[in-house]
Structures are given as structure tokens and as C-alpha cells.
Structure 1
Amino acid sequence: MSSEKITAETRTEFGKGAARRIRREHKIPAVVYGHGGEPIHLTLPGHETMMALKHHGPNALLELSIDGKTQLALTKQVQIDNVRRVIEHVDFIAVKAGEKVLVEIPVVVVGEAAPETLVTTLSETVSVEAEATHVPEAIEVSVAGAEAGTQITAADLTLPSGVTLSADPELLVVHVAAAQTAAALEAELEAAEAEAGIVHEESDAEAAAEAAAPAEGE
């Protein structure tokens, strides 16, 4: 896991008004926690930071240059405006090379399961412990050829070297079930409609077909 180098500015103004002014300048307010010291409040360049987080994912490791000193910072939380889809604030934790950290890693399902099956991801992330400079961006789970009834737990995951599982080994990550047939789905829908008292009017085509059909005994 490589780190992105970002030049940060320390800030002394806080509150919503200060944050809005920072964002108007196309910059991002941020804070770095950890190692027993006081939190470091920063302003980061907007475009560079956005690209670094987009490229390296939710656990992006940044090499922050702060007042001439370098601080490794692991991304912990990114606040995004749901309407404008822009980054509003970023929380980091200060880390050191070789230090172990507890992180949530995204699970990516790959491969095609057996025909007529449905693959469901029940846990989109899994908790692991890894060196701060070697946090995997994602953990792949292969369902290639998996038959209905297959269950993949956290204990079944193949983790990179140096990464250990912190989640419950019995945590169900992926489940492969038999896909519902069209006939079964239609029968289920009809039963639900009948229970709800929904009655469909006969279409013109159905009425015409019924009229054209020979009467019983003819």
C-alpha cells in the first residue's frame, strides 16, 4: 500500500463558518488524531486529496507534510455531501511505519457461481489487523463454480501475508442460494396479490381468446 504525498496547512479557525470558507476555496478541512497528542487540525488541497482518496479507497494512507514535518495518516472517516457529492471533512489517525492498525477492508466478490444460483454479499467489509503501510485495499472472495448452499465465512477468506483476521471467524460473508424460477416467482406474486385482495381486470386479448375457444362439449 503506497502513500500519497499531500502538503497540508495547519488551521486555527473552527466551526461551520470557517469550514464553509475553506470549502469555498476548494480545500478540505481535516483532523489527525492519535499517538496521545492533541488533534492536529488541517486544511488540505481539495483536488489532490479527492484523487488520493478515490485512488486508494476508504483506508487511504497519506503522507502529510505539516509545517515542514512529515506525518503518516491513515484515513478513518470521510464525510461527503449527499447532494453535491463533494468531500466536506476527513478524519485521520496518525500512524508509523511498522505499526499495527485495526481496519475495515471492503469485500469484493469475483467469479461466476453455478447456473441458477443467486449470490448475496452479507458483509461488505471485514475487520483485520495489518501494518499501517501494508493495509490491503480490498479482499477478493471467489465464488467461481459455487453451488447453491455454499456459505463463505470470514475464516474462509484468503488474507494477504502479514494481515490477520480480527472479525468473528464465523461471520457469514457470502451466501450462494438457488435462484427462484420464473414459475415460482409468478406463483408467489399471485398468492401475495390474492392475500391483498388485488383482482386484475381481464384484458381485451384474454377476453377475445376466451370467446374464440370452443364451448365444452362442442
Structure 2
Amino acid sequence: MSEIKLVAEARTEFGKGAARRTRRNNQIPAVLYGHGTAPVHVALPGHQTMLALKQANALFEIDLDGALELAIIKDVQRDPVKAVIEHIDLLIVKRGEKVEVEVAVHIVGDAAPGTIHILESQSVVIEALATNLPRFVEASIEGLGAGATVYARDITLPEGATLITDPNAYIVLISVPQDNSADDAAAAEVAAGQAAASAAAAETGTSL
């Protein structure tokens, strides 16, 4: 995995007002921490950082006044209405160490004809080298018939990675589409009959 280099600037002002000024300057407020170091508050280049965030589990090389640190995204805070990035937490990592990350699950292959698949969990947690984090992992449903289940333990992991999610957790279920048209029609017919009976009883003054 190649690093994405971001040139950061140290932040000396804090609070909501300072954060708004940072964002107006086309930068994103962030904090860099980990490995026993004191948190360092920085501003990241806005456009470049947003493009980098499109890559899941990206590895960043943060350049702060010439000092380089490897880091991964730990948390991204967004405005719930405008979807604007408000703040980013960056975790310092070292080459050769392993970290826990959440990874998206991609389904590959085709189940048996006439079946459908239901994705029960869209991601799993794994432990992997900080410098070799996968963007996603694959769950194969190739040839599986109705009633089959893909568990977390069945997912293909990259070399050296370890599954942290419960191995018995459901990831994908294979089933047959339910055709409820006949049942719906029967239920509608019964309801219509009950409505007609109620109307007739009302006219005659009797009760059902």
C-alpha cells in the first residue's frame, strides 16, 4: 500500500469559531495522536484530503514542518445536514505494527439460479499490518443454494490478517424469493367479505 502524502499545518486556535475559519480557508481541522505522543492539532488541505478519504483504509504520510508521521483515519466527523467534514482523527502508526480496522464486505460470484442473497453484515473487523490494510474483503456465494449461509470465518482475508469479528457471525444468507401474491389476494378477499358483512349488519341493525 502506497502512502498518501498530506502537508499539514499546526493549529494554534481552537473552538468552533476557529474550526469554521479553518474550513473557510479550504482546510480541515484534524488531530494527530498515538504511540504515547501528545495530541497534535493540525489543519489538512481540504480538497486533497476529501479525495483521499474516498479510498477506504488509506495510509497517510503527514508532513508537519518537515517531520513525517504515518497515520490512518480513526474517525471522521461530518455535519449531518450538509455532509461537510468537520474534523478528522488521525492515528499514528509504525511500519511493521498491526492495527484493528473495519473493512467493507464485497460479495463475489453467483448463487444458484432462482435464489437471492441477503447481506446481513456490510463489514467485518480485522487486524492487519498498518502498511497493508485492505480496502475490502470478499465473501463468495458462488453456486450456493437456498438455505446456505456465509459466515465471517468463510471470508477471504489478505495474507497476515486476522479476523476479529465473531467467526460465527452471519455475513450472507441465501434464500428463495417469496411470492406472496396468492396469499395477498386471499387476504384481500376475506377482508372484503368481512366489510360487506359489517355493512349489511349495520343496515339491518344487527350485530356480528
TM superposition score category, shorter chain reference: 0.7 to 0.9
Q: CA deviation at 1:83?
A: 3.2
d(CA) in 2 for partners of 1:31 and 1:191? 61
Change beyond 3 A, Cα 1:186–1:7: same
Deviation digits for residues 68-118 of structure 1, max 9, x if unmatched? 100001111112233333322111111001111011111011222222212
Name the residue aligned to 1:47.
Answer: 47
Name the residue aligned to 1:124.
Answer: 122
- Give the 3-state SS of the residue equivalent to 1:135 in structure 2: coil
Name the residue aligned to 2:20.
Answer: 20
Partner amino acid, structure 2, of 1:30: A
Change beyond 3 A, Cα 1:22–1:179: same
Provide TM-score, normalisation by structure 1: 0.82
Say if 2:182 is the partner of 1:187.
yes
d(CA) in 2 for partners of 1:194 and 1:12? 72
Change beyond 3 A, Cα 1:67–1:118: same
Q: CA deviation at 1:191?
A: 6.3
Q: CA deviation at 1:146?
A: 1.7
Q: Which runs of structure 1 show a deviation greater than 2 angstroms over 4 or more consecutive aligned residues?
A: 80-86, 187-195
| 8 Å contact from structure 2 (residues 77, 85) kept in 1 | yes
Partner amino acid, structure 2, of 1:32: L
d(CA) in 2 for partners of 1:160 and 1:85? 32
Partner amino acid, structure 1, of 2:17: G
Change beyond 3 A, Cα 1:166–1:198: farther
Query: Percent same amino acid at aligned positions?
Result: 50
Change beyond 3 A, Cα 1:189–1:101: same
Contiguous gaps of at least 5 residues in structure 1:
200-218
Contiguous gaps of at least 5 residues in structure 2:
194-208
- Aligned residue runs from structure 1 range 1-218, under 5 A: 1-54=1-54, 56-57=55-56, 59-181=57-179, 185-190=180-185
Q: CA deviation at 1:165?
A: 1.0
d(CA) in 1 for partners of 2:2 and 2:192? 59
Provide TM-score, normalisation by structure 2: 0.86
d(CA) in 1 for partners of 2:101 and 2:187? 43
Aligned residues: 194
Change beyond 3 A, Cα 1:180–1:92: same
Change beyond 3 A, Cα 1:68–1:148: same
Once structures 1 and 2 are overlaid, which stretch shifts more, 64-73 or 76-85? 76-85
Partner amino acid, structure 2, of 1:148: A
RMSD: 2.1
Q: CA deviation at 1:189?
A: 3.6
